Chains A and B, each alone.
Chain A
Amino acid sequence: MSQTTLIKVKDLYVNFYTYAGVVQALDGVNVDLKQGEILGLVGETGCGKSVTSLSILNLVPAPGKIEGGSILVKKGETNDDVLLMDDPELRQMRGRDVSMIFQEPRAYLNPVYTVENQISESMLVHRKEEFLKRGIGELEKEKKGKSFEAKLYRRMITKPSSITTRLLGKLSRQRVWKKEAQKEVVSVLKSVEISDPDRVARMYPHELSGGMAQRVVIAMSLACNPSVLIADEPTTNLDVTVQAQILNLIRQLKKKYASSILYITHDLGVVAQLCDRVAVMYAGNVIETADVFEVFKSPFHPYTRALLESIPTPGKEFKSIPGLVPSLVDPISGCRFRDRCRYAMEICQKTKPPFLEVKPGHFAACYLYGGS
């Protein structure tokens, strides 16, 4: 199966310039997302999972700064580097090519706008032309192809940003683009299995339950049929039964739209149930990448092994990883896991282990598996 790579993150470095010092949040991250797969990005708090995902949209908040590397996003036939795009290009890319689902649906939704308003927002940015064409089509059917409305819509397509168009736009009584967007919102809400989309579309976020709010946020990210979806812990604050529903929804959406999903989580159970491939992160590095079965059956990196062992099993003692996650302000030299590692060697102190393909499709960054 030939798989095209949709996103390729290469040697990404991100620093945060805080008062406490420079936090080296990402230290040469390499991840790639292929067509039609769900890639799980796993790691503990503060390991850089969210920063990686924000970098892909070039949304790293200040005082963070992307210091180096490249992020190639496939757009049509070309691969564009996100870090070299200017603002209009970024605006085009965000939401249409790559869109994101954030962790806390309630914080993400604007409390003073209705669901409909918020979902149609990105549609009106990216798909206005499409809606206008639909409007013209309908007017032509009614044999009003030469009416003021139809002329206006055509003008809006050809000269969208001229001042006269914008002024005349205000005169339009039909506002066909908004009506079309509303129709579209209902169909998107239906696709995320909301039972009463017409009513929900007119609700405000506080009227929604946690599970519903998360569905609305997913609908929002699907509004423009993106080829890549980034989901940042979308089920963390939900109950297990609702989580199971959302996971199933994500699975179905993937089948339906065949889009690729970058799924960020710290829950290994969710990874095992949902993902095709896994990338494990530790202290700003991706330390292991492999097929999900491979990771759970024969993990290479000592951290991955320790993480899997710390899953509680009844009748056994809880195994924990000794020590703490290192500070990223002044990280230790060499391998960042070495002071918690059972197999630490002399070389681990000196240089950072390279990220090597140990087995076909199974990458790890550890001197136990070569590289000197």
Chain B
Amino acid sequence: MSQLLQIRDLKKYYPIFGGVLKRTVAQVKAVDGVSLDVMKGECFGLVGESGCGKTTLGKTILRLQKPKAGSIFFGVPQDVIREITELQKSSPKSRRLRRLREQYDISTYRGRDLLLLRRKMQVVYQDPTTSLDPRMLVKDIIAEPLVAQGIAKGQEARKMVAEMLDRVGLSDRAFYRFPHEFSGGQRQRIAIARALVSRPDFVILDEPTSAVDVSVRAQLLNLFTDLQKEYGLTYMFISHDLSIVECISNRVAIMYLGKLVEHASSEAIFKEPLHPYSQALIASVPVPDPTQRKERVPLSGEVPSPVNPPVGCRFHPRCPLVMSICKQTEPQLKDAGNQHYVACFAVNPEGS
């Protein structure tokens, strides 16, 4: 499998303005140095609690937000990326590096390049009631990417919309109706049709099932897996619902306060999580089996503020395995064998 998306040391900070002059007084470090690879054709799960920066990461990858630092490569050959990383180390101010980044690195894209990129990358949001324009007809909603991209219009666009509607399980009676006339599950299907009509390679699913019921959720998840097979899609599945991520993802990354703490194959993470935070998170999921009751709270306290994250390992104030080194230096993601990356000194003693 080859890499489709490669992210290197991506950062996104939001300024906090204060004082009389409204100067930047602090920064919310929403995404603070994330590196990950998404393989072609896989479903990459991104898990974390609210406020950990998973949605911001998704938005930054799509370039709906401009990153503060770091690179995003989408479908770029390996040797180019290698050259760029080498140049960044050896001569960060060289002209060659600048030209290469402008050509390949999404984080530097502007104008037309970005527009063309949107064809290849799409998103389905959490709540279809707010992500669909209430004053647009379904046919216009779904045709919008086609028109905006200049892919098709008129009859041709209509045909593609009808095909897509059929594919997501809605009849073409939906054409001249408004989003409010549909149920939550159907609305999410419209959002999916809109995302897929421009035939993207990569789709970010940002909590697509958290606003629907259990029985509808299963229908949507089946639809996602079917569409993935049919169109050869690559997904990034952002969710806080671990049980779904476990079922749908090939590989999973767990995020805490703007950083990845662990990433590995889905089985490895859910069977034997290595990072203490991952362990606590997975142990917190209520198991739907009354014979397996857990009467112990896996993790006490709450997530600290991302404005002023703890020094050293960000998890150390809540960590049961905390050591003195954790309070001083920040652990890096290190391979603990079998492509299982963990950022923890307790697991990788030499890892810094």
Q: Which residues of A contact B (CB under 8 A)?
A: 44-45, 209-212, 239-245, 247-248, 251, 266-274, 292-293, 296, 306-308, 310-321, 324-325
CB distance from A40 to the nearest CB of B (A): 10
With contacts A270-B286, A272-B287, A314-B267 known, what are 7 further pairs, Cβ within 8 A? A241-B281, A243-B286, A251-B295, A269-B243, A312-B246, A315-B247, A320-B217
Those 4 A-B pairs whose CB atoms lie nearest each other, nearest first: A269-B286, A320-B218, A321-B215, A239-B49
A239 to B51, alpha carbons, bound, how many Å? Answer: 10
Query: What is the CA–CA distance of A341 and B84 in the complex, to the nearest angstrom?
Result: 59
Closest-CB distance, B305 to chain A (whole angstroms): 10
A101 CA to B287 CA in the complex, in Å? 23
Q: Write out the residue numbers on chain B whose beta carbons fall within 8 Å of the beta carbon of A316.
A: 247
Give bound CA distance, A212 to B300, whole Å: 12
CA of A292 to CA of B244, assembled, Å: 23
Cβ distance A37 to chain B, nearest Cβ, rounded Å: 14
Known: A245-B297, A313-B247. A269 touches B216 (CB 8 A): no
Residue in contact with B290 in the complex, picked from A292, A324, A325, CB distance below 8 Å = A292
Q: Knowing A244-B299, A307-B214, A324-B183 touch, does A318 contact B247 (C-beta < 8 A)?
A: yes
Q: What are 23 residue pairs bridging A and B, where the CB atoms are less than 8 Å apart in the complex?
A: A240-B281, A242-B302, A243-B284, A243-B286, A251-B295, A267-B286, A269-B287, A273-B293, A273-B294, A296-B288, A296-B291, A307-B214, A308-B288, A310-B217, A312-B218, A312-B243, A313-B247, A314-B246, A314-B247, A315-B247, A318-B221, A318-B247, A325-B213
Is B175 located at the chain interface by the 8 A CB criterion? no
What residues on B are CB-neighbors of A324 within 8 Å? 183, 185
A273, A320, A321: the one within 8 Å of B286 (CB): A273
Q: Which residues of B contact A315 (CB under 8 A)?
A: 247
User: Inside 8 A of B215's CB, which chain A residues have their CB?
Assistant: 44, 306-307, 310, 320-321
Nearest-neighbour CB distance to chain B for A151, whole angstroms, equals: 49
Is B302 a contact partner of A296 (Cβ separation < 8 A)?
no
Q: Tell me the bound Cα distance from A278 to B267 in angstroms.
A: 32
Interface residues of B (CB under 8 A from A): 49-50, 183-185, 213-219, 221-222, 225, 240, 242-244, 246-248, 266-267, 270, 280-281, 283-300, 302
Q: For residue B219, which residues in chain A have a CB less than 8 angstroms away from its CB? A: 318, 320
Name the contact of A312 in the complex, choosing from B185, B221, B300 (C-beta under 8 A). Answer: B221
Tell me the minimal C-beta distance from B317 to chain A in angstroms: 14
- Asked whether A312 and B244 contact (CB < 8 A) given A244-B297, A244-B298, A306-B215, the answer is yes
Contacts of B283 in A (CB 8 A): 244
Chain B min CB distance to A42 (Å): 10
Q: Which of A270, A296, A317 is in CB contact (< 8 Å) with B289?
A: A296
Most A Cβ at <10 Å: residue of B240, B267, B285:
B285
**Chain B positions within 8 Å of A321 at CB level:** 215, 218
Return A298 CB to nearest CB of chain B, in Å: 12
Task: Report the separation of the CA atoms of residues A245 and B296 in the bound assembly, to the nearest whole angstrom.
Answer: 9
- CB A138 to nearest CB in B, in angstroms, measures 37
List, in ascending order, chain A residues with CB within 8 A of B291's CB: 293, 296
Contacts of B225 in A (CB 8 A): 318
Please measure, in the bound complex, the distance between the C-alpha atom of A46 and the C-alpha atom of B321, giving whole angstroms: 45
Cα(A271)–Cα(B289), bound, Å: 9
Cβ–Cβ < 8 Å partners of A248 in chain B: 295-297
List chain A residues, Cβ under 8 A from B270: 314
Q: How many angstroms from the CA of A202 to the CA of B192 in the assembled complex?
A: 46
B218 and A319 contacting across the interface, CB-CB below 8 Å: yes
- Cβ of A153 to closest chain B Cβ, rounded Å: 42
Known: A244-B298, A268-B214, A310-B217. Is A273-B287 also a contact (CB below 8 A)?
yes
Query: A239 contacts B240, CB within 8 Å?
Result: yes
B172 to chain A, nearest CB (A): 19
Residue in contact with A241 in the complex, picked from B183, B246, B296, B298, CB distance below 8 Å: B298
Most chain A beta-carbon contacts within 10 A, residue among B213, B293, B299: B213
Closest beta carbon of chain A to B173's beta carbon, Å: 15
B308 to chain A, nearest CB (A): 15
Tell me the complex Cα distance, A251–B295, Å. Answer: 9
Of all chain B residues, which has the CB nearest A293?
A: B290
On whether the beta carbons of B214 and A310 are closer than 8 Å, the reply is: yes
Q: Is there an interface contact between A296 and B297, defined as CB atoms closer than 8 Å?
A: no
| Nearest opposing residue in chain A for B249, CB measure | A314
Q: Within 8 Å CB of A245, what residues of B?
A: 297, 299-300
Q: Which of B185, B222, B266, B284 contacts A318 (CB 8 A)?
A: B222
Complex: A267 Cα to B293 Cα, angstroms: 15
Cross-interface CB contact of B280 among A44, A241, A266, A296, cutoff 8 Å: A241
Say whether B243 contacts A44, CB under 8 Å.
no
Residues in A whose Cβ lies below 8 Å from that of B266: 314
Q: Are B288 and A240 interface neighbours, CB within 8 A? A: no
Interface centre among A242, A251, A268, A315, by most chain B C-beta atoms within 10 angstroms, is A242
B280 to chain A, nearest CB (A): 6
Q: Write out the residue numbers on chain A whose beta carbons fall within 8 Å of the beta carbon of B244.
A: 312
**Across the interface, which residues of B come within 8 angstroms of A312, CB to CB?**
218, 221, 243-244, 246-248
A252 and chain B: residue at smallest CB distance: B295
- How many angstroms between the C-alpha atoms of A274 and B243 in the bound complex? 18
Question: CA–CA, A168 to B31, complex, Å?
Answer: 60
- B285 near A209 with CB under 8 A, answer no
Cα distance A312–B224 when bound, in Å?
14
Chain A residues near B296 (CB-CB < 8 A):
248
Which A residue sits closest to B217, measured CB to CB?
Answer: A310
Complex: how many Å from CA A313 to CA B190? 27
**B240 partner residues in chain A, CB cutoff 8 A:** 239-240
Residue in B248, B281, B291, B302 whose Cβ sees the most chain A Cβ within 10 Å: B302
Cα distance A239–B151 when bound, in Å? 41
A292 to B292, CA, bound (A): 12
Looking at the assembled complex, report how far the CB atom of A105 sits from the nearest CB atom of chain B, in whole angstroms: 14
Q: For residue B280, which residue of chain A has the nearest CB?
A: A241
| Contacting pair A241 B284 (CB below 8 A) | yes
A296 to B270 alpha-carbon distance, docked (Å)? 23
Chain A min CB distance to B318 (Å): 9
Smallest distance from the beta carbon of B319 to chain A beta carbons, Å? Answer: 13
CA distance A315 to B250 in the complex (A): 11
